[in-house]
Amino acid sequence: MIRSTSPVAELGVRAATPPALMVGMFLFFAGHNRPGGGFAAGLIIGAVVALRWMVGLRTTVVPSQLMAAGIVIVAGVALAPVLFGSVVLDQAVWSTSLPVLGKVKAGSAAIFDIGVSAIVVGLVIAVIDGLSPATTSAPEGQSS
Amino acid sequence: MNSLAFVLVLHLCWVGLSACVPSSQGRMVLRLAAIPPLVSTVVALGVLLGSSGDAPSLDVSWVPGLDLEFVFQIDSLAALMTLLVSGIGVLVFVYANGYFGPTAAGTGRFATTLLAFSTAMLGLVWADSVWTLFVFWEATSITSFLLVGHKSVDAAARLAARRALLITAGGGLALLAGLLILADRAGTTRLDDMGPVGGTAGGVAAALVLVAAATKSAQFPFHVWLPGAMAAPTPVSAYLHSATMVKAGVLLVALLGPALGETDVWKPVGIGFGLLSAFWGAIGALRHTDAKLILAWGTVSQLGLMIVLLSAGSGKAVFAAVSLILAHAVFKAALFMVVGEIDVRAGTRDISALSGLGSRMPLAAMVAVVSGASMAGVPPLLGFTAKEAAIEAALKMDGLEALVVGFAVIGGSVLTVAYTVRLLLGLFGPSDQPATDIADRRPAMAFPSALLAVGSVLGYVFLGTVNSLVRPAAVQVQPEAEVYYLLRWPGITTAFLISVAIVVAGSTVGWLVFRRPLGVPSPVGAGVVDRGTDGVLSVARFVTGRVQHGSLPVYMAVMAMTVIVAALPFAFDVEPSAIYLWDSPMQGVLAVVVVGAAVLTSGMASSRLGAALGLGSVGVAVSGLFVVHGAPDLALTQLLVETVIVVGFVLGLGHLTRRFPSAKAGWRLLRLVVSVCVGGAVALALASSASNPSGVPPLEDLTVAAVDEGGGNNLVNVILTDVRALDTLGEVVVLAVAALGILALTESGRSRKEEVA
């Protein structure tokens, strides 16, 4: 098991986690108008999970469940328009004015992107979990 | 709300909710499962009674660009079938309440699956587009697979379920091919608008459709799945193998007869299937002693008769076939129910082991005698008038056709009477054995079968009502059927005399074979199917063993060779004038310096970690190239992917030694050559694609569309999540499936290691 014996490394990773997740979230929302998007955000979050994994901070997220949730989300967004008499994958855009933030615009594509992110994060966790050597005792929450 | 949509949604929601109920509450699920079919029966009755001209229809567009849509319509034929599917469905659910004792396990699962099947069947009979038809056709195959294999701990049931699935799903493939040809030739996917299709293509389509119908309706030689399917609980047999599943094939022949009936193939192939089945099924029914198998083989025979009549396609024949569909569903469901009741109460359904049931189960005996008489075509019952119509239809034909159809109808009927007599004598007749002990009556089992037996009688009494059900349905298939009607009392006609002769001859044969066990036939066909399946599996094992031998270098070499071979044809397309060094010198710097250095590092590195990092830096450099080229999205994604890959590498390397094992110089050279060749091949392919631009990308339009419709300014992401969202959907699903594969592989690897340790 690659387990950090260095408390410094562990602390460093712990400290880096929130800003890294912030970057991920930023990329997620930036994707609307600038480079970024669900896939990139998923990779960043996946990389954070991987980094924590390397210093021994395991996640309890079950990758298969995360991916299943992602598929349900993307499929749901894809099919939802049919219920409202539209065609598959037609996009809905809502915009509204909020205090502080001003004009906010959200499309169903954002929800679609959440699903994409979930699948990518699940994939990264699955790969990391699969590749990390000698995890003889499955980590908590790991389904077989 | 549209009544069709309401019924379908009700069914689907009910199935979904039932599936969520914990298995301890299975009885409740079973008790309530009759409600959706009851509702759809009422709707079907409403359609039949209400004389408002337009048939209710429902049209759900799903992917308009691909002409994919769900189209439903309750026309006359569909209404009649709905009455059978849902009406008998209600009775079967009631019956199942009695069939499964209070302690039976899995009743909830059973009820849910049966309701799902019922839903699929409704969709099938309502379908008005070939694609809708196909989707629900396959749905019935899958749900019936689950139903046949309901007793999943029983190896025989699993085998029978697999056999049924392979044959009916194979038929589904034939159907898909046939429908594709048909839709293409007819120029429409709507069953309503389809004109006659001819020519070679029409002939091929006709043959494929008939094969599909034969697999579903258990026609010779595809009938082999049906006897095995008797491993299912009896409510399933009473439902699937009398009124619904097996009728789907007959329905298909009826629905597509107008479009394909004029091809040269349709009549001979359809009549051939039907004729062989009518006889082979009846012979099978005469030889078995298991009452349920007798009924199953009898079904093969009866369905054969219907297919013969429908394929012949004259007005009277179609009319007779539709009458038979109705009569057969009513009496066969009742007979299955009685046999199930005997099985539950007496503990066996083998006619050679039963004795003295006639006096101990008087109600069941009455139901069986009435339904059996209807099956044999004895007045005053519904089966009599239907068979009479079939005989008249045969008499009305000329030449060879009259001979063949007459032979099928009369010969099949004689044998039907014979196996009916044998079955009834075996179940309830006198026997020299001591009387069988029987358990208490279960009202929930007795009631539905009694109702169906009464139905056989009432059908004869209220023949006018039956006529008004059957005639419009037949007219829909064949307009000439308009002039025909079922006769209560034909008078002393040729057909009636033939009928009498059939009953006399059949009873004699039945009486003669009753005491003489003919020897149970070995399930030859089923064995062939099973051996075929096992053969495919062992070939697959052999091929896998040869191809997947587990050597990573060989896998890599195969992939590399594939790339090289695939790229070779592009070599001729390369336009040297279109190739230039760079857009900006920065690209050159990145390409030469960074990529070159990285390649050297990974090539020369003696430690694995160093090589992995070197490869990572190649990726970063490529990312830099994207930046220079003005593609920040690509660059960002490339950078992130590269990072995650390096992390994966580092984790994976923990399994291996730190340093590369020393390799012979020859091997190193070989690997070098392969690498260079692959690189060259990819470069060649790229150069060729750059030499032949196939047009200017519609950037302007896309940008406008992105902002207007996608609501975003990032063109790349709008394409990913909106314009080409279907592609993205497919890609992420592939991604998830790949990840599941990784999980499965690593899990199995681990558990194997643990076993060793």
Do residues B201 and B312 both lie within one domain? yes
Whether residue B563 lies inside any domain: the answer is no
Which amino acid belongs to residue B230?
Answer: M
B420 neighbors B349 (Cβ within 8 angstroms): no
Contacts of A113 in chain B (CB under 8 A): 721
B63, B712, B725 ranked by CB distance to A112: nearest: B725
A2, A112, A113 ranked by CB distance to B651: nearest: A2
DSSP at B440: -
In B83-154, where does DSSP find H-type helix?
88-99, 107-126, 130-148
Whether residue A104 lies inside any domain: the answer is yes
Q: Which of A4, A62, A65, A67 to mutate to test the interface with B (most CBs of B within 10 A)?
A: A67
Contacts of B738 in chain A (CB under 8 A): 123
> Shortest Cα distance from B712 to chain A (angstroms)?
5
pTM value > 0.90: no
User: pLDDT class for B321, splitting at 50, 70, 90?
Assistant: very high
Q: How many CB atoms lie within 10 A of CB A25?
A: 14
Amino acid A132: pLDDT? 72
Domain span holding position B332: 3-519
B64, B751, B754 ranked by CB distance to A87: nearest: B64
Last residue of a domain, one of B497, B519, B541: B519
| Report for A57-66, B328-337, B613-622, B663-672: range of highest mean pLDDT | B328-337
Contacts of A34 in chain B (CB under 8 A): 713-714
CB-CB under 8 Å, A113 with B736: no
Summarised one tens digit per residue, pLDDT across range B2-40 is 788 888 999 999 998 988 888 888 888 888 888 999 999
Amino acid B21: pLDDT? 85
Q: Which of A87, A88, A121 to mutate to test the interface with B (most CBs of B within 10 A)?
A: A88
Whether residue B403 lies inside any domain: the answer is yes
Do residues B508 and B534 both lie within one domain? no
B647, B725, B739 ranked by CB distance to A89: nearest: B725
Whether residue B608 lies inside any domain: the answer is no
A47, A70, A124 ranked by CB distance to B732: nearest: A70
Per-residue tokens: B710: 């996608």
Contacts of B16 in chain A (CB under 8 A): none
User: Of B173, B191, B180, which is closest to residue B125 (Cα–Cα)?
Assistant: B191
Between B126 and B647, residue with greater pLDDT: B126
pLDDT over threshold 90, residue B124: yes
B713, B721, B746 ranked by CB distance to A130: nearest: B746
Beta bridge partners of residue A105, listed in sequence order: A95
Do residues B532 and B417 both lie within one domain? no
Backbone torsions φ then ψ of B152, nearest 5 degrees: -70, -10
Contacts of A134 in chain B (CB under 8 A): 654
User: pLDDT class for B120, splitting at 50, 70, 90?
Assistant: very high
Amino acid B586: pLDDT? 83
Per-residue tokens: B73: 């319509």
Give the separation between CA B743 and CA B746, rounded to whole angstroms: 5
A32, A71, A135 ranked by CB distance to B717: nearest: A32
Beta bridge partners of residue A96, listed in sequence order: A104
Contacts of B722 in chain A (CB under 8 A): 89, 91, 107, 109
Give helix B266-287 / helix B291-312 axis angle, nearest 10°.
160
Summarised one tens digit per residue, pLDDT across range B436-460 is 777 888 888 889 999 999 999 998 8
B177 neighbors B208 (Cβ within 8 angstroms): yes
> Shortest Cα distance from B648 to chain A (angstroms)?
6
Do residues B193 and B207 both lie within one domain? yes
Lowest mean pLDDT among B64-78, B513-527, B532-546: B513-527
Whether residue B607 lies inside any domain: the answer is no
Give the separation between CA B463 and CA B446, rounded to whole angstroms: 25
Contacts of A32 in chain B (CB under 8 A): 711-714, 717
SS3 percent helix, strand, coil of chain B, rounded to 5, is 75, 5, 20
Which amino acid belongs to residue B742?
Answer: I
Whether residue A21 lies inside any domain: the answer is yes
> Shortest Cα distance from B641 to chain A (angstroms)?
7
Summarised one tens digit per residue, pLDDT across range B492-531 is 788 888 888 999 998 888 888 776 666 656 556 677 778 8
**Which residues lie below 8 Å from residue B70, measured CB to CB, with a gap of 6+?**
B58, B59, B60, B62, B129, B132, B135
Task: Tell me which chain A residue has its CA closest to the CA of residue B752.
Answer: A136
Task: Tell me which chain A residue has its CA closest to the CA of residue B630.
Answer: A35
Chain centre to alpha carbon of residue B99: 27
Contacts of A82 in chain B (CB under 8 A): 60, 62
Q: Which of A2, A23, A32 to mutate to test the interface with B (most CBs of B within 10 A)?
A: A32
Whether residue A141 lies inside any domain: the answer is no
Amino acid A143: pLDDT? 40
Do residues B407 and B531 both lie within one domain? no
CB-based contact (8 Å) between A24 and chain B? Answer: no
CB-CB under 8 Å, A127 with B729: no
> Shortest Cα distance from A89 to chain B (angstroms)?
7
> Could you report the predicted ipTM of this complex, rounded to two decimals?
0.81
Contacts of B655 in chain A (CB under 8 A): 131, 133
CB-based contact (8 Å) between A2 and chain B? Answer: yes
Whether residue B470 lies inside any domain: the answer is yes
**Which residues lie below 8 Å from residue A66, measured CB to CB, with a gap of 6+?**
A118, A119, A121, A122, A125
Give the separation between CA B681 and CA B686, rounded to whole angstroms: 9
Amino acid A103: pLDDT? 61
Q: What percent of chain A is modeled with pLDDT above 90?
A: 4
Give the separation between CA B632 and CA B630, rounded to whole angstroms: 6
Q: What region, left, alpha or beta, does residue B142 occupy, with left being phi > 0 and alpha being psi -120 to 50 degrees? A: alpha
Give the separation between CA B731 and CA B150, rounded to whole angstroms: 35
CB-CB under 8 Å, B651 with A64: no
CB-based contact (8 Å) between A99 and chain B? Answer: no
Whether residue B676 lies inside any domain: the answer is no
Give the separation between CA B474 and CA B19, rounded to whole angstroms: 38
Summarised one tens digit per residue, pLDDT across range B672-721 is 888 888 888 888 888 888 777 777 777 777 777 767 666 666 777 777 77
pLDDT over threshold 90, residue B175: yes
Do residues B493 and B529 both lie within one domain? no
Number of domains into which chain A is organized? 1
B448 neighbors B87 (Cβ within 8 angstroms): no
Domain span holding position A18: 7-131
CB-based contact (8 Å) between A67 and chain B? Answer: yes
Whether residue B637 lies inside any domain: the answer is no
User: pLDDT class for A144, splitting at 50, 70, 90?
Assistant: very low
Task: Tell me which chain A residue has its CA closest to the CA of residue B728.
Answer: A116
> Shortest Cα distance from B727 to chain A (angstroms)?
11
CB-CB under 8 Å, B647 with A109: no
Amino acid B519: pLDDT? 62
> Shortest Cα distance from A61 to chain B (angstroms)?
14
> Following DSSP, what letter does each residue of A29-61 receive, concatenated?
HHTTTSS--HHHHHHHHHHHHHHHHHTT-----
Give the separation between CA B263 and CA B244, rounded to whole angstroms: 28
Contacts of A128 in chain B (CB under 8 A): 647-648, 651
Give the separation between CA B274 and CA B213, rounded to whole angstroms: 11
Cis peptide before B380 (omega within 30 of 0): yes
Number of domains into which chain B is organized? 3
CB-based contact (8 Å) between A112 and chain B? Answer: yes
Q: How many Cβ pairs closer than 8 A exist between chain A and B?
A: 169
Contacts of A119 in chain B (CB under 8 A): 732, 735-736, 739
Determine whether B388 is exposed, middle or buried from the number of CB atoms within 10 Å of its CB (0-12, 13-18, 19+): buried
CB-CB under 8 Å, A37 with B720: yes
Q: Which of A48, A79, A131, A143 to mutate to test the interface with B (most CBs of B within 10 A)?
A: A131
Do residues B428 and B544 both lie within one domain? no
Q: CA angle at residue B40 from B55 to B443, to 5 degrees?
A: 145
Residue-level length of chain B: 757
CB-CB under 8 Å, A64 with B743: yes
Do residues B381 and B405 both lie within one domain? yes
Whether residue B651 lies inside any domain: the answer is no
Give helix A63-83 / helix A108-131 axis angle, nearest 10°.
160
Do residues B135 and B249 both lie within one domain? yes
Do residues B213 and B235 both lie within one domain? yes
Between A43 and B751, residue with greater pLDDT: A43
User: pLDDT class for A138, splitting at 50, 70, 90?
Assistant: very low
Give the separation between CA B429 and CA B624, rounded to whole angstroms: 91
Do residues B266 and B391 both lie within one domain? yes
Whether residue A139 lies inside any domain: the answer is no
Contacts of B632 in chain A (CB under 8 A): 35
Q: What average pLDDT does range A119-127 have in this prediction?
A: 88
Amino acid B273: pLDDT? 92
Do residues B251 and B353 both lie within one domain? yes
pLDDT over threshold 90, residue A85: no
CB-CB under 8 Å, A33 with B714: yes
Contacts of B725 in chain A (CB under 8 A): 78, 89, 91, 109, 112
Amino acid B141: pLDDT? 93
Give the separation between CA B656 and CA B702, rounded to whole angstroms: 49
B641, B654, B709 ranked by CB distance to A2: nearest: B654
B633, B751, B754 ranked by CB distance to A35: nearest: B633
